[in-house]
Amino acid sequence: MTHPAIQLPALIAHRGYSAAAPENTLAAVRAAHEAGATWVELDVQLLGDGTPVIWHDGDVARCSNGRGGLVSMDWAKAQTLDAGGWFDDRFAGEKMPSLSEMLALLNKLEMGVNMEIKVNKGRDPIALVERALPEMLDTLPPERLIISSFNAAALGHCRQFASKERLALGVLFGSVPKSWREQCEAIEAFSVHPHWPRLKRAQADAMQRDGYQILCYTANDPSAFHSRWAWGIGSVITDEPAAFKRFLDSH
């Protein structure tokens, strides 16, 4: 397979350094960078006015001082929310970042991103891809971008925008289904992103043989995950990049 020349790190900071800062914020990405991470995993979806933002949930209740679904908000309303104080008073006033703001920071820090196309219930995967992907392709070099999703329609539409030489796509799985290979082949995938406790050794071996990179999510106990490195795992997506780094440096 010919894909962008991506140098996968052992560790990818999940939603930024989300154990140390409010997830999916500029502060979390800065914290990941300060902790030595070179890549982050983030989520992109659309507000009701079509603005692409970095946010995981379909509503804002868990990670802000507000309530309501993203679909009911425009950018002006979203910017009135405090997206940091829920985590710690030190982050009070942190804002929900736009995709544009996040891409600018990633370029400034020269960080790579695994961006999940986050298709929450009732939302349109095609509209999300069409609003968010062109900006990512225009802003980030191919070697610093992986697009992943659980949503097959989203990934299929992504491939319509760029060839596998220009854009690395990754398929997210909870339990890896029997059809994993067909799903990867359909989009000329670069990587497979399984939930690490549910990945079986035989599946990892088959993925390796077929030439796919394996990015496991979300592992936060380095000692529990340690035996999996022997399975040929490319990267671990973790809330605790500093703890993982300390563990790996000492083993």
Angle at 193 between CA 176 and CA 230, to 5 degrees: 90
Reported as a single tens digit per residue, the pLDDT across 183-223 is 999 999 999 999 999 999 999 999 999 999 999 999 999 99
Interval 26-40 mean pLDDT? 99
Secondary structure of residue 241 in the 3-state scheme: helix
Tell me the sheet residues that pair with 7.
Answer: none
Burial class (CB in 10 A: 0-12, 13-18, 19+), 195: middle
Residue 123 pLDDT exceeds 80: yes
Separation CA 70–CA 88 (nearest Å): 23
Residue 1 pLDDT exceeds 70: no
**What pLDDT is stored for residue 152 in this prediction?**
98
**CATH fold of 11-249, please?**
TIM Barrel (3.20.20)
- Beta strands per DSSP E along 156-205: 168-173, 191-194
Reported as a single tens digit per residue, the pLDDT across 170-185 is 999 999 999 999 999 9
Reported as a single tens digit per residue, the pLDDT across 46-78 is 999 999 999 999 999 999 999 999 999 999 999
In one-letter notation, the amino acid at residue 222 is: P
Separation CA 214–CA 193 (nearest Å): 6
> 């999996």: which residue's tokens?
228
What is this structure's pTM? 0.98
Residue 127 pLDDT exceeds 80: yes
**What pLDDT is stored for residue 2 in this prediction?**
73
**What pLDDT is stored for residue 251 in this prediction?**
87
**What pLDDT is stored for residue 90 in this prediction?**
98
**What pLDDT is stored for residue 115 in this prediction?**
99
Nearest to 170 by CA among 126, 159, 178: 159
**What pLDDT is stored for residue 203 in this prediction?**
98
Interval 125-132 mean pLDDT? 99
Q: Give domain limits for the chain.
A: 11-249
Interval 100-112 mean pLDDT? 99
Secondary structure of residue 93 in the 3-state scheme: coil
**What pLDDT is stored for residue 128 in this prediction?**
99
Residue 122 pLDDT exceeds 60: yes
According to DSSP, residue 124 is labeled: -
